[in-house]
Amino acid sequence: MALNQKITKKIKEKAANDDFLRKNMIMLLSKVDEGKQPKRLIETILNEIR
């Protein structure tokens, strides 16, 4: 099952002005939905913040 399209649409709308947040939140949710552990994923995202 793919991540509910409604969720993606809502995230896109709500974070329309913040590319970094929008892109990473959609990625994070998709990976968590596939069963990946979120902690590692968050670490990777935050490491991009310098």
Name the residues that contact other proteins, by CB under 8 A.
1, 3-4, 6-7, 10-11, 14-15, 18, 20-21, 24-25, 28-29, 32-35, 38-39, 42-43, 45-46, 49-50
Half-sphere exposure of 14 (CA within 13 A, CB side): 9
Task: Tell me the closest approach of the beta carbon of residue 11 to other proteins, in angstroms.
Answer: 6
Q: At what angle do helices 19-33 and 38-47 cross, to 10 degrees?
A: 160
Enumerate residues 6+ apart whose C-beta is below 8 A from 15. Answer: 21, 22, 25
Task: Tell me the closest approach of the beta carbon of residue 16 to other proteins, in angstroms.
Answer: 11
Task: Tell me the closest approach of the beta carbon of residue 1 to other proteins, in angstroms.
Answer: 6
